[in-house]
């Protein structure tokens, strides 16, 4: 059994203790089950010892995320070949290890070839199997799931009716409309509609190339609690449990971000944005404002959207096929027809306009924002704001205005050491500065 096989739950109690994981990478019981050759693991051990000087066997095991019992035989072999020596005895029949002079030279050569030191990688095939086992397309999103995910976000009924089927499809989605109406916020909430957690390997290996997948900038690790009851189902420490990712990129997006990026100095690669967003959502925010032409970006994704897999190139020149399993969301202030041709729009089946809030919804937005800031809600003050600062200027209501204006009001009150009160006078002050440079 390989490290990324789908493991059925032992019983209902065990399943509940595991947090309801339908997929859980089991701890490898043999070196063969890691999918790695002993040479790869030995090289990681030598490079780690070169880095730290000396370490106990259990410290080495913790660093490369493999069970200590699997490394004991390797450490014994390294010692018999005079690659490591005992520097002292550790607890629980363990020893402190250090490199011999011969091994130090071998470790330096290995580090020059690839500087990576860390969790042992997971074979690409195991990663592919894990994505298929945790695909968002297997999630049957219901109305209650969507309503719960958007519980703290103001979304009108007609928009909710459109969002539900779009989320359930797992296909592409355009969110368009005027700025300030919460397109980005809505996109970030969509991921919550799917299963909350998934497992990903920290690093992947293919054709001798190390590819880092886990990225703290996009992945939020979830702590796993284990008890003696579930020791039999301990997970493979090379994997990490995360919240389903929402990868957000904006104007900084380049074509290089969509490929595996190789660092020639360390000989370590970084996974593409598509790989990092597998199992979740990939939000292209402010689409149409990137430094690359929208047509070039869209053409890059026509085939992956159709086939649900992508082709990427390793530093060795080898092309690999990887899953393309995420909900791609394009958030834009522009009309979709101005950005893409019919061929691409056909592959993005859902286009949802996020419209300005009604006056009733605008009041609810202020009420929610007041509650969040601990400020008493005064409906008369909101009506005054609309009558004074919106209607005379033909200024449209935007969903962000309640949050922004109340934040400015809070800053004013803190500066003047006065209690936060929603009054017409306070709204006059903040509206004057807020709307001076805004037409909307």
The boundaries of the domain holding residue 235 are 125-353
Distance CA 393, CA 389 (A): 7
Please report whether residue 295 resides in a domain. yes
Give the list of residues 6+ apart from residue 275 with CB closer than 8 angstroms, or none. 213, 260, 312, 322
Please report whether residue 264 resides in a domain. yes
Distance CA 383, CA 387 (A): 6
pLDDT, tens only, 284-309: 888 877 778 877 887 888 788 888 89
Report which of residues 326 and 12 the model is more confident about: 326
Closest CA to 274 of 303, 307, 309: 309
Please report whether residue 17 resides in a domain. no
Please report whether residue 272 resides in a domain. yes
pLDDT at 385: 95
Distance CA 60, CA 54 (A): 9
Q: Please tell me whether residues 150 and 295 are part of one structural domain.
A: yes
Q: Please tell me whether residues 331 and 376 are part of one structural domain.
A: no
Please report whether residue 320 resides in a domain. yes
Please report whether residue 27 resides in a domain. no
Q: Please tell me whether residues 141 and 179 are part of one structural domain.
A: yes
411: CATH:
1.10.8
CB 363, CB 379: distance < 8 Å: yes
pLDDT, tens only, 241-284: 999 998 988 878 888 989 999 999 999 999 999 999 999 889 88
Q: Please tell me whether residues 58 and 99 are part of one structural domain.
A: yes
Q: Are strands 309-313 and 239-243 parallel, antiparallel or unpaired?
A: unpaired
Rg (CA), the chain: 27
pLDDT, tens only, 335-385: 777 777 777 777 778 888 888 999 999 999 999 899 988 899 999 999 999
Q: Please tell me whether residues 54 and 193 are part of one structural domain.
A: no
Q: Which backbone phi and psi does 213 adopt, to 5 degrees? A: -105, -45
Distance CA 333, CA 162 (A): 18
Report the mean per-residue pLDDT for the chain.
86
CB 84, CB 75: distance < 8 Å: yes
Cβ-based burial of 337 (10 A; exposed 0-12, middle 13-18, buried ≥19): exposed
Q: Please tell me whether residues 271 and 307 are part of one structural domain.
A: yes
Q: Please tell me whether residues 374 and 280 are part of one structural domain.
A: no
Count of domains observed in the chain: 3
136: CATH:
3.40.50.300
CB 131, CB 278: distance < 8 Å: yes
Please report whether residue 331 resides in a domain. yes
Percent above pLDDT 70 for the chain: 92
**Among 291, 326, 353, which residue terminates a domain?**
353
Distance CA 390, CA 104 (A): 72
Q: Please tell me whether residues 343 and 382 are part of one structural domain.
A: no
Q: Please tell me whether residues 113 and 134 are part of one structural domain.
A: no
pLDDT at 324 over 70: yes
Report which of residues 103 and 184 the model is more confident about: 103
pLDDT at 75: 95
Q: Please tell me whether residues 148 and 98 are part of one structural domain.
A: no
pLDDT at 231: 46
């Amino acid at each position: 059994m390989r490290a990324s096989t789908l493991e059925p739950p032992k019983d209902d109690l065990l399943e509940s203790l595991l947090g309801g994981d339908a997929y859980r990478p089991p701890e490898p019981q043999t070196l063969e089950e890691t999918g790695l050759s002993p040479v790869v693991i030995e090289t990681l051990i030598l490079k780690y010892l070169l880095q730290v000087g000396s370490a106990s066997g259990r410290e080495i095991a913790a660093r490369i995320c493999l069970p200590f019992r699997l490394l004991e035989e390797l450490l014994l072999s390294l010692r018999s070949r005079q690659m490591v020596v005992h520097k002292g005895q550790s607890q629980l029949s363990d020893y402190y290890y250090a490199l011999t002079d011969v091994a130090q030279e071998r470790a330096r050569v290995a580090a020059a070839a690839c500087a990576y030191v860390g969790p042992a990688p997971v074979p690409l095939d195991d990663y592919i199997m894990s994505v298929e086992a945790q695909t968002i397309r297997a999630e049957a999103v219901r109305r209650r799931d969507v309503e719960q995910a958007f519980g703290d976000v103001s979304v009108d009924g007609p928009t909710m009716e459109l969002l539900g089927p779009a989320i359930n499809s797992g296909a592409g989605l355009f969110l368009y409309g005027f700025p300030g109406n919460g397109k980005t916020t809505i996109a970030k909430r969509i991921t919550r509609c799917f299963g909350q957690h998934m497992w990903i390997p920290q690093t992947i290996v293919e054709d001798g190339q190390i590819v880092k997948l886990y990225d703290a900038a996009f992945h939020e690790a979830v702590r796993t609690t284990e008890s003696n009851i579930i020791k039999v189902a301990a997970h493979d420490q090379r994997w990490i449990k995360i919240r389903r990712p929402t990868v957000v990129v904006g104007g900084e997006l380049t074509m290089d971000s969509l490929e595996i990026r190789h660092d020639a100095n360390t000989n370590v690669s970084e996974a593409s944005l598509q790989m990092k967003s597998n199992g979740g959502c990939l939000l292209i925010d402010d689409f149409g404002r990137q430094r690359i032409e929208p047509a070039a970006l869209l053409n890059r994704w026509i085939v992956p959207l159709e086939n649900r897999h992508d082709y990427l190139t390793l530093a060795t020149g080898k092309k690999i096929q990887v899953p393309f399993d995420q909900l791609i969301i394009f958030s834009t202030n522009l009309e979709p027809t101005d950005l893409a041709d019919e061929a691409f729009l056909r592959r993005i089946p859902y286009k949802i306009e996020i419209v300005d809030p009604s006056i009733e919804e605008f009041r609810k937005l202020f009420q929610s924002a007041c509650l969040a800031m601990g400020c008493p809600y005064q409906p008369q003050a909101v009506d005054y704001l609309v009558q004074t600062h919106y209607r005379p200027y033909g200024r449209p209501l935007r969903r962000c205005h309640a949050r922004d204006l109340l934040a400015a009001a809070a800053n004013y009150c803190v500066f003047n050491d006065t209690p936060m009160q929603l009054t017409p006078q306070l709204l006059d002050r903040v509206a004057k500065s807020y709307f001076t440079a805004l037409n909307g």
